[in-house]
Chains A and B, each alone.
Chain A
Amino acid sequence: MSETVKDRVLSRGGDWDFDLLRSYDREIASIAKEFGLDTYPNQIEVIASEQMLDAYASVGLPISYTHWSYGKEFIRNEEAYRRGMRGLAYELVINSDPCIAYLMEDNSMPMQALVIAHACYGHNSFFKGNYLFKQWTSADAIVDYMVFARKYIFECEQKYGIDRVEETLDACHALMDHGVDRYHRPSPLSAQDELRRQHERAEHARKQFDDIWRTLPRKEKQGDDDAPAEAANFPPEPQENLLYFIEKYSPTLETWQREIVRIVRKLAQYFYPQGMTKVMNEGWATFWHYTLLNTLYDRGLVDDGFMFEILQSHTNVVMQPGFDHPAYSGINPYALGFAMFRDLRRICESPDAEDRAWFPDIAGRDWREVLDFAMRNYKDESFIAQYLSPKLIREFHLFAIADQAKNDFVEVAAIHNDEGYRDVRRLLSRQYNRDILVPDIQVLRYEHMGDRSLLLRYTRLRDRPLTDDAKEVLKHLSKLWGFTVSMEVFDEREGVVDRIDVSPAR
């Protein structure tokens, strides 16, 4: 081996130290910059495996409030890990500014480099660039906000008792998927503003307080004659953000409980984009670790041994077992996302006739621009609808199964052939629609002038029922609401087909 080549290689073997981490990070950063990746500054934290278990439990945030469900998650992961049933993730990355990425100390040097490329440049640039993340999360404020939330909930526990706080949190968690309003951009987070707002609320309550009101004789209830017309119309339009509605209008919640509802709602908002961009986000990060590390190799900065380890790990990550394979558990977002971004690059760099027919606007363009545009402006659903190419459908051997309740068989609806491409693509894209993942449940009516009951409506799509959990969730909801909560099941063809009523236990 010639001296000059040897000099360029950053390291050999598996051992790492902090100087090496720094030099790998420097090289990867400079390549990322050449490719035009725009990232938040990185904060890379080296942790031990037990700490990784800790990080898992708090749903991927470096800090969170205390709740038994995190304990459950922690115990579940710990047991699985101790029994060797599950390895730990090599990395964990947090959508924050600076972007925090955890590296496990047991990783070898190549793995650390992989994680740096994947998390600190892949995910990081996705967090910074994707429109959903830009709209829904405040990366610069989330850590402060969680510190605030943790402290606030701790204080509530001191003041009102662990049980009451736990009950409130349980109820909020049950509704967490319904804490997002897709059509309103939320206001940015700020722990300071939250504190100020709270003080104002408390101060207002204090100023308004006058014990003498209590001594006044109650006014006789006036006739309800004109009320029903108005009551029937509230809220004027159905509301899909159940947590927000509770926070604003619950007739019984105390101020601190409203704050807790708000905290969970903010958390739901923070996680909302991650659920909508799994394929893209993982695909993007995987595409970039693959591209960045291969560039390192092409420039002679890493040796063959390094690359073998990377490729082995990479191959495991992007493996997609077929539907009849024992390991099959749905479509692997890493595999699909990675393949799609690679395919996009291929369509740009060396398009064939099919690509030109399907993607006339991008075939032959600069791949960096095309990928950047895709990363910024799509979510899984639209990304697949827009960019899944026939070639990939063939490579994945994708096929669609139609399952209808009235039949005792399922039917193959479309496969990877000329007639099927568009159907497969449309159906796969729809699989990532939020309405498939989260049932469409909205607040229909609040009898605010009457018995204060709340009516929700589940709009049933194609006869798909809710699980039996629904009643439990409604119980939680009625605890927050304080009065009867009902949910009707609405079918587009048949109208209201079912109704569940739950009254709060007193």
Chain B
Amino acid sequence: MPPLPRSIAILLLIAVAGLATVPLVGGRFHVQLVTQIFVLAVFAMSLDLLVGFTGLVSFGHAAFYGLGGYSLAILTRDFGLVSMGATLPATLVVCGLVSAAIGWLSIRTSGVYFIMITLAFAQMIYYFFNDARGYGGSDGFYILTKPRLAIGDVTLLTLQDRATLYYMALVVLLLTAAFLWTLLRSPFGQVITALQVNEARTRALGFPIDRYKLVSFCIAGILAGLAGYLSAVQFGYVNPAHMGWRESGRVLMVVILGGSGTLFGPVLGAFVFVLLEDLLSGLTEHWLLLMGGFVVAVVLLLPKGIAGLLLSAAGRAAKSGRSAETHPDEQPSVHAIPRGGVDPILETVDLVRQFAGLIAVNRVSVKFSAGKVHAVIGPNGAGKTTLINMLSGELAPTGGHIRYKGRDIAGWSPDAISRLGIGRSFQVTNLYPSLSAFENCRIAAQSRLRSSMRFFRPASRLGAVADRAHRALARCGLGPRSQDAASALSHGDRRKLEIAMVLATEPELFLLDEPLAGMGAQESREILDLLRAVARDHTLILIEHDMDAVFAIADTLTVMVNGHVIATGPVDQVRADRAVQDAYLGHRDAAE
């Protein structure tokens, strides 16, 4: 997450100070209205963690909000609990468990299906309470005694009091913001932001992305429950409408209006939205018409929300005073990895992949020795990329075995394979465009931590990870460009960055899918030199169409035609093979 421009930070601080005085100067109505805004802001921030930072658009987020309220109401009425020390933790646990269950089921889907499945689960919960007569059905029911915080006989807080509730909501809002801010800078936060930008890349780097999505979903669910708890305290009753899809749509609107992907955006959105609702409903009975028009206008005119507007204004003001940063340690260092003594390091046995009627890879058995450069060549449609995708776990084989150091890894997930020490680059360069070259490599290096489920320490303080990222960049000649955004790099540098990222994961085996595709002559030479250097301490398996490059770098050659391997062995031997000359090399010569 980019740091907040100073001008905006100062404005926010002044705003908080001003808000702290509202109960002293404002009337009953204002105190209630602003409390309502604080609660909505917490709710909206929780959704933004999903929508703006994890890339999961949930259309059922109100379910957890409603659940927070119902769980307080039920604990109070049926269990006689009035202590906040009991009801609040219990409520958060309930919301956490329910969101874990729903999240675990939902994250298997993506895109529109995720939007719809979260909606479906929310509607199930909605109807459960709507039809449950014991809980008042569609009318809901009242919370007659509001929570208190007491030690022994001394009552510290009673949320019955309007001003107390106001300050409590303000504190919860600030704590939530601080918590999310810390979270997003932590290793965990870096991973969820990365997977939002590029899911396939993140998985290929070795992160079990479903687990990260699930944790994010649970945190969001718990925070929404917290907001729901406060809202139920404020209004003194719960109603199934609070968990319906309209409420989910409303909070989504607040996030977008404010600006998703920022923390202060949803807070601003909550202010504008509630004040606008208040203003419009005073104007006319048919204020929803105006509200609808406003929503449409925001989508068409303000896609990045109010926060986007402010950030670009602040960015223009700050631009003049900033200079380019450079990074100190860029000495290349030898990237030595102990080489496993197993030979062959990787082996496929009767590997098959079938797509509907087509057999893309047909009983392929090849051995790849450690420490060598292996090239896989063949005409288009020979099954080379399918083969690599099976080796890296992107595709599950239909049949056969893949043995890495003797262990059968066929059908493993890409992240598990990456963690074993098999890295890959993609045919189309696959990066995080909005992050700097250094940050790209840092995420990659971070994947080698035992777990990035660390929530509080900033990722930037992981010294060893940063060192590894710098080493990988330097090795690929990108040291001077480490602070440039990946999207600003040239085509060749982007390819080098992708190689640097894979190096930062410290693989033993490196899979490269057409590393020279689309490169000019000079760029090709540079990449080739780089690959030669990488090959000194890695095993390489590469697919390549450029024959001169293949002959220049490869130790062994595997030729595929129509899903079959027709020859495999040392380069010279395969070049001399009659069948290969007829089927492939000869055909190529004729074509050129």
Decide whether A and B assemble into one complex: no
